[in-house]
Structure 1
Amino acid sequence: MKDRFLFKAKRIDNGEWIIGFLTFHKTGKAFIKPIFGDARSSEEVDPSTICQCTGLKDKNGNLIWENDILFLKDEINGCKWKAVVEFGNPTGEYNWGWQLVQVTECEANKDILLWIETGTSYVDVKIIGNTIDNPELLEGGE
């Protein structure tokens, strides 16, 4: 299975992150069936914390998720910036399903996330947190 089909969210019972397959009950409650473990079990999750996986990885090999806050460094022009991963791409030139919303100013290519996988972006990308657990990282500065 491809990573881009995975979701993660915080469990209702203990607030821990869980990764797996997202389902919704007819009552509207959201559940995630873990990738490992009992195939018949699923955990109720907080819908406000649901994040879809992009299928891409940062420079440390960590999967990049919707709502992740990234620190990016452009190796060519030395530009350093922070951005949030969002679903959709209304402001980008290409429509690949994901976009970066800049948190700090820099003359950066907003479509750079799309090229991370190819290794031709010349940009180091590192996950530094997410908007759910670390909203303070959305403030300016490096």
Structure 2
Amino acid sequence: MRDYKFRGKRIDNGEWVYGDLMTGKNPSITWWKPVGEQSYEIDCADVDPETVGQVFDFGDKEENELYPGDIIKTVHTRASENASSDDPFSNTATGYEEYEKVGLIEYHRGYTFGPRLRWKKGHMMIPNTSTLWRMKAVKLGNRWDNPDLLEG
């Protein structure tokens, strides 16, 4: 079942909050806050609209939730000049090496809709969880708290 959990960065103190999205003059996130051993009350905070995002249906290899604006590291394989293998799709044969890329996850609204991983050069749509797991994806941070991760 689809999870309708949202996150946003509070305007008043810059903390991240997670819960349900309420729209109005300013977007707000509401959540259940424990106030006793088995009792809760609803809390609410205005959030920066730029930071609001809905959790994706997949996580990284460490099972961290991923939201639009998250920065992840992925591992890829490329063949060197001396690669040799009877299997052209093998990445474990002699001459293949791994390299890392850092990219931004976003929700793409263009000729296709859905989650997209964007690197400095290029991008790819993310059709399912196994795509990120095969790339050994790990969440590093997000573009608001860690913009330096996208540099270089």
The answer, yes or no, to whether TM exceeds 0.5 is yes
CA RMSD for the aligned pairs?
2.6
Verify the 8 A CA contact 2:61 2:132 in the aligned structure 1.
Answer: no
1:10-62 deviation per Cα after TM superposition (whole angstroms, max 9, x unaligned) = 1122211000111112xx21100115555543211111221221121111110
Amino acid at match of 2:52: I
Verify the 8 A CA contact 2:31 2:42 in the aligned structure 1.
Answer: no
Tell me how far apart the structure 1 counterparts of residues 74 and 17 of structure 2 sit (CA, whole Å).
26
Tell me how far apart the structure 1 counterparts of residues 132 and 72 of structure 2 sit (CA, whole Å).
18
Where does residue 9 of structure 2 map in the other structure? 10
Alignment gaps of 5+ in structure 2: 35-39, 78-90
1:85-104 deviation per Cα after TM superposition (whole angstroms, max 9, x unaligned) = 1112537xxx451111113x
Answer yes or no: is 1:46 the counterpart of 2:42: no
Amino acid at match of 1:100: L
1:115-136 deviation per Cα after TM superposition (whole angstroms, max 9, x unaligned) = 3x23696210001111110111
1:55-78 deviation per Cα after TM superposition (whole angstroms, max 9, x unaligned) = 211111100110001100025462
Where does residue 67 of structure 2 map in the other structure? 65
Tell me how far apart the structure 2 counterparts of residues 119 and 42 of structure 1 sit (CA, whole Å).
35
CA gap of 1:35–1:88, structure 2 versus 1, over 3 A, is farther
Where does residue 22 of structure 1 map in the other structure? 21
Q: Work out the number of aligned pairs and report it.
A: 129
Amino acid at match of 1:33: T
Tell me how far apart the structure 1 counterparts of residues 106 and 130 of structure 2 sit (CA, whole Å).
20
Answer yes or no: is 1:34 the counterpart of 2:31: yes
CA gap of 1:82–1:58, structure 2 versus 1, over 3 A, is same
Tell me how far apart the structure 2 counterparts of residues 120 and 98 of structure 1 sit (CA, whole Å).
11
Tell me how far apart the structure 2 counterparts of residues 33 and 127 of structure 1 sit (CA, whole Å).
25
When normalised by structure 1's length, the TM-score is 0.76
Tell me how far apart the structure 2 counterparts of residues 109 and 13 of structure 1 sit (CA, whole Å).
34
When normalised by structure 2's length, the TM-score is 0.71
Verify the 8 A CA contact 1:89 1:98 in the aligned structure 2.
Answer: no
Where does residue 124 of structure 2 map in the other structure? 110
Greater C-alpha Rg: 2
